Amino acid sequence: MQFATVTEPSSPQPQIEPLSRVQILAAIGITALILLFLARLWLAFDTVQLVPVTLTLPAVLMGTGLGIGISAASAVAYQLWGDYRTSANLYLSLVLSSLTLTDLIWLGLLPGMSEELLFRGVMLPAIGLNAWGVLISSLCFGVLHFSGAQQWSYIIWATVIGAILGVSVLATGNLLVPIVAHIVTNLISSYTWKLAPR
């Protein structure tokens, strides 16, 4: 799940049939397990010093603020960038249509934790806690959100957000900041889309 705030009630409907609730929830769980397995596998073959997760109030507040900022930027991009709006509508329709409001909690938590562990917790320090590491891990994060050639704008957006989350790790040295930001962003975007009148 990734980073779009949809506010227009007249969004175009996807041409692909939405997945069922069970399919979506299974995909969320399986994807999280695969990403956690890849992080663990990477650690088995590389001596990576993981970015620590330190639970502090400032880290939670910074992550929350960053998540709200990303969501606001997404809302602006949605209004001004037609290709992004089309991609976001398609993606969110496919993923969210069959989910209940309670299901959205899992949609926020599981990708937020597993994606951040792999991309910012393991990959970023393995490549280097520097601009090069942020660039490469962000590109990989963007590719993870590839769902078809027509969705290129969504990949660009995910790459930019990946870079912002990577910079938050460099600035704070705490993986909790991007985890919270990712979860908050996913929750805001999914609840906004789900509760918007259609």
Q: Which residues contact 41 (CB under 8 A, 6 or more apart)?
A: none
Instruction: Enter the pTM of the model.
Output: 0.88
Residue pair 1/186 in contact by the 8 Å Cβ criterion: yes
Determine the average pLDDT of the residues in 29-51.
94
pLDDT at 151: 78
Q: Which two tokens stand for residue 27?
A: 């995909």
Q: Which residue has the higher pLDDT, 148 or 180?
A: 180
Determine the average pLDDT of the residues in 72-99.
90
Residue 16 has pLDDT above 80, yes or no: no
pLDDT at 19: 76
Determine the average pLDDT of the residues in 156-165.
96
Determine the average pLDDT of the residues in 58-79.
97
Residue 149 has pLDDT above 60, yes or no: yes
Residue 1: pLDDT band by 50, 70, 90 thresholds? low
> What whole-number distance in Å separates Cα of residue 111 and Cα of residue 122?
15
> What whole-number distance in Å separates Cα of residue 59 and Cα of residue 38?
26
High-pLDDT (> 70) share of the chain, %: 90
